[in-house]
Structure 1
Amino acid sequence: MAAAQGVRGCLLRGPLRARLGRGCSSGAPVRQQQQQALVAAPAPAQELPSTRRKGFLTEHAAPFSAFLTDNFGRQHNYLRISLTEKCNLRCQYCMPEEGVQLTPKSELLTTQEIITLARLFVKEGVDKIRLTGGEPLIRPDVVDIVAQLYKLEGLQTIAVTTNGINLARLLPRLKEAGLDAINISLDTLVPAKFEFIVRRKGFHKVMEGINKAVELGYNPVKVNCVVMRGLNEDELLDFVALTKNQPLDVRFIEYMPFDGNKWNFKKMVSYKEMLDTVRQRWPDLEKLPCEASSTAKAYKVPDFQGQISFITSMSEHFCGSCNRLRITADGNLKVCLFGNSEVSLRDHLRSGASEDKLVQIIGEAVGRKKKQHAGMFNISQMKNRPMILIGG
C-alpha cells in the first residue's frame, strides 16, 4: 500500500479518455484497441517484491490507478455492482431451496451511493461496469441507474447480467439509457426442465428477451448456461446450434460451489469434456483469439453467425489475469468471487469518509487480493455467501 501511495503523485486519477460513440456490443469496450494499450493485462500473476512494485506501477499504470493494481500487477478496470439481493427465480445453483435471509432495505446501497462509488472507481481507472443481482431488472430504478452511469466520463461499457424474465419489456428503455451489453441466463431449452431448474415458470419470457436483444442490435447477445451433469449436459449441441443463424455467444459455465447449492464434484462437467462433446459433432470447430483478461475460452463453428465460449472457473482458473472487483448489494467490496474476505464501503460512506479515505480503503483491499483462489476442492469447503447475495 505504501508503494501505491508513493507513486500516486505521478499517476492520473482517471482515464483522460473522451467517450466516443457507443454502439451495442458484447461488453468489449468501444475503443478496444485504445483500452488494450492503456490497460494491458500483465502476464500471469507473480508476486512482486515491495521494492519492485513501485517501479512496476510507474512503468505500467499510467493512466491507471495504483490503488486498483494489486501486488501481482493485476489492474482492475472491471467492476460488478449488485443492485439487489432479490430475484424472481430460484435457480438451484444460485439460491438454497429454502431461500436466503435478505438484508434489510436500510442496509442496502441507495441509488446515490451506487453512483457515488461507481464514479469513484471510474476516476481510478474502471472503464467497464456490469450490473448484477439477485435480478437487477427487478430494481425499480434500474433504467435511471444506467442513465446516470452513462454520464460518467471514462466509463466505456455498461453491461447487465439478467435472468431475462423482465428483459423484453425493459430493454428498449435500457438501450436508450445507454446499456451496451447483455448477458442472459438460460440453462435449458426445454420448458419443463426450465421450471425444474429455476423452480419457477418463465421460459418463454426469457426467449422473448433474447429475441428482443437481437432485434435491437446487440451483437453478440451472451447467453450464460451453467452445465450440470445429469441435468442439462445432454443439451450442449442444441445450444451450439442456436449460434448458427443468430448473433449469440453461448457461454457454457462450469458448475461452481456456493453456500446452499449442494455442489458436488460429480455434477461438474469440465470444459475439456464439453469441448470434446462439441468437437465430435463439429470437428472443424475453431478457437478464437481473446483478450488476456477474458474469463472465456471462445470457439466458433465455421460459417455460424454466433460463437460459443467456456467459463473454466473450476478446471482451469484464470486468476492470473483477473481484472474484476465486486460490490455486493449491501455495499461490501469483494476482491475475489470465491474469497470470503469483504470490506464495507457502505459503512465508510455513511460515516462521512472522504473520497481519499475511500480510495485508500479500496486500495488496501485490492492489495490483500491473493494470487489465486483456493482451488476446486477447497472452495467447496470455504464459507462464502450464496451466489445470489454476491451478485456473480
Structure 2
Amino acid sequence: MAKQFEDKFHRKFYYLRLSITDVCNFKCTYCLPDGYKPAGQKNSSFISLPEIRRVVKAFADCGTTKVRITGGEPSLRKDFSAVIETVANTAGITKVATTTNGYRMAKQVDAWQAAGLTHINVSVDSLDPRLFHQITGENKFHQVMAGIDRALEIGYSQVKVNVVLMKDLNHQSLPTFLNWIKDKPIQLRFIELMQTGEMDTLFERHHVSGVAIRNQLIANGWLLKVRAANDGPAQVFVHPDYQGEIGLIMPYEKGFCETCNRLRVSAKGKLHLCLFGDRGVELRDLLNDDAQEPELIARIQSQLQTKAVSHFLHDGDSGITPHLASIGG
C-alpha cells in the first residue's frame, strides 16, 4: 500500500465522498430552489466507470476504507448499480454508502444491495407530507418512506436519515422525529443549515444551531457514542429506551474540522479538499490509464499539504460552493 493520505496537520483520510452527477430531480429550498440548471461547461461529461474505478483504487491504496457515492441525486445515473459494484469490488474498501433523496429506493434498493451497497442515507426534512412537499418541491413523501421501509425489510441493519434544521420550518419537530425512531433502527441526523454562495438570504432567515438539540438530548439521558476512524462528522447519541440514534452535524461549532477524515471528488473529476474550499484540483487527466496511479497519488498527496486547518464559514466565506449539489454535499 502507498503512504496513507495525510495532511500537514496529521489528519488522516479514510473516507472519500465521490459525486457521480450534479443533477437532482428535487428542488429543496436550501440547495436547488429553482431546480437543477446545467452549468454549461465544455467537456462537462460526468466521471465514467473506468475513471471511478481508477480514482477509488488510488484512494484505497492510500488507506481509504469508506466511499460515499453522492450527487446531486446519484440514482439518476442509469449505471448507478454498476458504480456501486465498481466501488464495492475495490480491494480495501469496506464501506460503500450512498446519500439519496430516496424517491427510487422502494423499486431499486434490492439491486443496490446486490451490487454491494452497505450503508444508506436518505434525506427527509419533515415527517409531515405537506411540509416535505414545501421543502423539497416534490410530493414524494410516501414513496420515500416506502423506500426506507424496504431497505430495512431486506436486511439493512440501519438507515440514516438526514434532516437539515431550519428555523420556523422543522426545528421544533424533534418530538415527532423521536417518536418515529423509538422502535426503528434509524439514525436521525440533524444537519445545521450551511451558508453557500447562492443561499445567503435563506441562511440568515432559517439557520439554527444544533446545540439546543444536543443539550435537550443530554438532559433526557442520551449518551455520546464513540466515533470510528472512517465515520462522518456527526456526534452520535444513543439512548437505552430507543432503537434509533440521533446524530448532530454542527459545522459552526469550534473544533469541527479537527477530526476531518474525508476528501471529495466531484462528478467532473476534481479533488476538493473541503466542501467550502476555494478551488478544485483537476484529476481527470490522470484517470485515463491504470499506469497513471503513482502520478495521481502524488498529485493528491501534494495538494493535501495545502489543505487549510479549517473552513471559513464563521467568516461568511463558503468558498466556491454555489450550492450543496455542486460537489456532492
Q: Is the 8 A contact 1:259 1:387 kept in 2?
A: no
1:219 equivalent in alignment to 2:219: no
The offset of 1:387, in angstroms, is 0.9
**1:93 is the counterpart of 2:93:** no
1:208 to 142, 146, 153: 146
Post-superposition shift, 1:103?
5.0
Equivalences for 1:225-244 in 2 at 5 Å?
A: 225-244=163-182
For 1:350 and 1:289, the matched residues in 2 are separated by 40
TM-score (norm 2): 0.92
Give 1:154 shift. 1.0
State which of 102, 105, 122 in structure 2 corresponds to 1:184.
Answer: 122
| Long gaps (5+) in structure 1 | 1-11, 14-64
Amino acid at match of 1:238: T
In structure 2, the CA distance between the partners of 1:147 and 1:389, relative to structure 1 (3 Å rule), is: same
TM-score, with normalisation over the residues of structure 1?
Answer: 0.78
Counterpart in the other structure of 2:185? 247
- Deviation for aligned residue 1:98: 5.8
- Residue identity opposite 1:273 in structure 2: A
1:76 and 2:7 are equivalent in the alignment: no
Q: Is the 8 A contact 2:23 2:36 kept in 1?
A: no
Match of 2:295 among 336, 351, 357: 357
Q: Given the alignment, which residue of 72, 76, 90 partners 1:134?
A: 72
Instruction: Decide whether aligned partners of structure 1 residues 337 and 152 sit closer, same or farther in structure 2, where only a CA change above 3 A counts.
Output: same
Alignment CA distance shift 1:307-1:109 (3 Å): same
Q: Percent identical across equivalent pairs? A: 34
Whole-Å separation in 2 of the counterparts to 1:98 and 1:247: 32
In the aligned structure 1, how far is the partner of 2:287 from the partner of 2:227?
37
Work out the CA distance in 1 between the residues paired with 2:290 and 2:240.
56
Structure 2 Cα separation of the partners of residues 129 and 150 of structure 1: 9
1:319 positional shift: 0.9
Matched position secondary structure for 2:287: helix
3-state SS of the aligned residue for 1:253?
strand
Question: Residue deviations 1:147-175, cap 9 Å, x none?
Answer: 12222111111000000001111110111
Task: Give distance in 2, aligned partners of 1:116 and 1:103.
Answer: 26
Name the structure 2 match of 1:369: 307
Whether the 8 Å contact between 1:338 and 1:373 is mirrored in structure 2 is: yes
Please identify the structure whose Cα radius of gyration is greater: 1
- Number of equivalenced pairs: 326
Instruction: Give the C-alpha shift of residue 317 in structure 1.
Output: 4.5
Structure 2 CA distance for aligned equivalents of residues 317 and 97 of structure 1: 34
Cα distance in 2 for residues equivalent to 1:354 and 1:239:
48
**CA distance in structure 2 between the aligned counterparts of 1:106 and 1:252, rounded to whole angstroms:** 33
What residue in structure 1 maps to residue 82 of structure 2? 144
| Cα RMSD (Å) | 2.1
Task: Show CA shifts across 1:89-135 (max 9, x none).
Answer: 01111124264333567532112111111111111211110100000
Q: Give the drift of 1:224.
A: 0.4
- 1:267 maps to 206
**Alignment deviations for residues 266-324 of structure 1 (CA, whole Å, 9 cap, x no partner):** 522212112244567xx222333333664111112332111111001123452111110
CA contact (8 A) 2:60 2:90 kept: yes
Whichever residue aligns with residue 146 of structure 1, its letter is: I
Is the contact made by 2:25 and 2:36 (CA closer than 8 Å) also made in structure 1?
A: no
Q: Does structure 2 retain, via aligned residues, the 8 Å contact 1:95–1:260? A: no
Change (3 A) 1:106 1:375: closer
CA contact (8 A) 1:243 1:308 kept: no
Shift of 1:232: 0.7
Pair 1:338-2:276 in alignment: yes
Hey, what does 1:310 align to over in structure 2?
A: 248
- How far does the alpha carbon of each residue in 1:317-336 deviate from its partner, in whole angstroms, 9 at most, with x for none? 52111110001101110011
State the 4+ residue runs in structure 1 displaced beyond 6 angstroms.
Answer: none
C-alpha separation between the residues in 2 aligned to 1:214 and 1:351? 39
Q: Structure 1 residues 239-248 or 104-113, which shifts more?
A: 104-113
Superposed displacement of residue 351, structure 1 = 9.6
Structure 1 residues 103 and 220: CA distance shift in structure 2, 3 A: farther
